Copies of this chain bind each other. A is one copy, B any other.
Amino acid sequence: MREQVTAAILEATEDVIATRGLEGASIAAIAERAGVAVGTLYNYFPDRDELIASLFKQRRSDLAPRLAELAHVGARQPAERRLRDYLDGLLALFEEQRKYIRVVVAVDPGGTRGPVLLPLITTAIADILRPGYGKRSDEYAHMIVGCLKLLVRWRVEQGASLAGDAELIAHTFLHGMVKR
């Protein structure tokens, strides 16, 4: 019961941030979207910062194990294969979590106060690349995540699907862009 209200509030928060941005996410707006009174929010979260942080924490704790799993799949495989598979799984996850991903690509920066999703992914990719790409792997990881973020943001803005983007990114980083 308490769980359900908590979940509803977090979902409302996600909605409002996705729609109006972090600054537009006033307590009043969130409460309205959640269909509860302002005071009720404060029965579930101590303050606005904590509420927003909770959204990130919640989604992260949903996604982190799945990301971890993705990262460990085929640990014996060559880096190229693992990258491909990781991106594949990642974008499937994104497609499934479209709403939250809108938040992620809209908000990211800001140290520990943001969704800490992209840093997580960056680390995972760096780890995947390390065996084959050595000290460059951190740079590549940041580059890949940058790609991912802006490409996905663009897709989301256009209401387009993410299908094919894993392959697009993987191929580009492994072999370069494809001439027509």
- Residues of A whose CB lies within 8 Å of any CB of B are 21, 23, 106, 109-110, 129, 132-136, 139-140, 142-151, 153-154, 168-169, 172-180
Contact = CB atoms under 8 A, between A and B. Distances in A.
B142 A146 contact: no
A176 B179 contact: no
Contact of A178 (B106, B109, B133, B177): B133
Interface centre among A109, A146, A149, A169 (most CB of B within 10 A): A146
A135 B168 CA distance: 13
A177 B168 contact: no
A177 B147 contact: no
A148 B146 contact: yes
Contact of A172 (B21, B176, B179, B180): B176
Nearest to A113: B21
Contacts of A136: 177-178, 180
A147 B178 CA distance: 17
Contacts of A143: 147, 150-151, 168-169, 172
Contacts of A135: 180
A175 B172 contact: no
